[in-house]
Amino acid sequence: MDLLLNDSVREWQQKALEFTREELIPWEIEAEFNQGLVPPEVSKRHHQLAIELGFSKMDVPKQYGGLELGMTEQVAVWEQLGKVTNALCWCFSEAQQWMFEACSEFQIENYILPLMDGRRKECYAITEAGAGSNETILTSATKCDGGYKINGEKWYVTSANLADYFFLQAILENGDHALFLLDIDTPGAEVTANPLFSHTYAAHHPTYQFTDVFVPEGNRIGAQGEGMQYSRSWFRHERMMIAARCCGAATRLIAEATEFALNRDIQGEALSEKQAIQFMLADSATELWAARLMTFEAAEAHDRGEDLKQLHNRCSMAKLYASEMANRVADRAVQIFGGRGYMRENVAERYFRELRVDRIWEGTSEIQRLIIARSLLKRGLEEM
């Protein structure tokens, strides 16, 4: 299932594949049975290797020491990283291009560049209890002497237990959205819940309460009214990489289910000879092929510099289709493995739990459908 990718994309694809296969996958079972954790020395090695390979600076402009890779190279990397379970590929932070467009030089120096070399780690405090298809932000940012006072609650602050600062979204007194950089140990920022989830990740998703939390004026990102614009840039990027990881996950699931079916003997005949199994594998391979074509074409559209609204729509299409495809593939893989597929040590069981959230976070499947439908109704099929 090859794609017409240029030499640069193939080179990055191979780097990421080797890192995933040789460094990350061997530690999946250890992580699964130890709350997502691997030995500290292993975690440190993964972190250092990822930085040395350049994964943390793929999207960083060259003027800041980054690689300024195209979206196609980045998708190729995250597709391969998606072949490991337990979020072991989250072993590095990623500075993104929009951050350099939005942030001041002070913010870049103190918050963004340290992501690239591993000195700091970020988390995103955006989602709230009432979030839905509309951007529901109730957390307030009230102007005070030298900055703002933040009050509100944020849910699902992914990786907050490992991070040292937030990208925090709030509403100003005039109703504008604003985005802030906030050190995680600032007085008044408290964890009120740390719920368990279906997956087994070292990165948690706690709930935070912010009570009169002071954030300096210099930590506000961008100009008046631009906070949601930057959050949307982050969402576009994340939706593309979710689609890429889902393609990687489906690739691994199909490969392992196929190998099992070829070697599983059923009364003197390989399981793979059963038509029901062949149909499941055929559907999975076909849907994966479609998802990869869609995802890489959307990435290439970014690299061609196409219209931003069209790119937003394509990201939603790729995320919607790839995430739902991967869930169907995981379900079939569990069925092919049978009882083995229900064991936590089996890759299909882990993906069956882990992939489910890809249809929810960074915009549910339903939200993606709303975005796509609105684009169709406003612009027509040819201009989507």
pLDDT of residue 132: 60
Residue 142 has which token pair? 């009230």
pLDDT, tens digit, for every residue of 254-273?
999 999 999 999 999 999 99
Residue 354 has which token pair? 């882990």
pLDDT at 334 over 80: yes
- Phi/psi at 300 (5° precision): -65, -35
In the predicted model, what is the mean pLDDT of residues 298-308?
Answer: 95
Question: Residue 1: pLDDT band by 50, 70, 90 thresholds?
Answer: low
Q: pLDDT averaged over the chain?
A: 96
Question: What residues does 168 pair with on adjacent strands?
Answer: 125, 180
pLDDT at 244 over 80: yes
pLDDT of residue 229: 84
pLDDT of residue 224: 76
- Give the pTM: 0.96
pLDDT at 230 over 90: no
In the predicted model, what is the mean pLDDT of residues 48-55?
Answer: 98
- Cα gap 383→377, rounded to integer Å: 10
pLDDT of residue 226: 80
pLDDT of residue 2: 74
Question: Residue 54: pLDDT band by 50, 70, 90 thresholds?
Answer: very high
pLDDT of residue 219: 97
**Token pair 């990687």: residue:** 248
Residue 279 has which token pair? 């149909």
Per the model's pLDDT, the better-predicted residue between 42 and 3 turns out to be 42
Four-residue CA torsion sign, 236, 163, 196, 157: negative
Other beta carbons within 10 angstroms of residue 328's beta carbon come to 16
Other beta carbons within 10 angstroms of residue 159's beta carbon come to 19
Residues 6+ apart with CB under 8 A from 190: 208, 209, 211
Question: Residue 134: pLDDT band by 50, 70, 90 thresholds?
Answer: low
- Cα gap 342→332, rounded to integer Å: 12
In the predicted model, what is the mean pLDDT of residues 137-164?
Answer: 97
Which element (helix H / strand E) includes 294? helix 275-304
Question: What residues does 124 pair with on adjacent strands?
Answer: 167
Residues 6+ apart with CB under 8 A from 50: 19, 56, 91, 92
Asked whether 287 and 328 are in contact (CB, 8 A), the reply is yes
Residue 238 has which token pair? 């994340």
**Percent of the chain residues past pLDDT 70, beyond the cut:** 98
Four-residue CA torsion sign, 100, 94, 110, 216: positive
In the predicted model, what is the mean pLDDT of residues 90-115?
Answer: 97
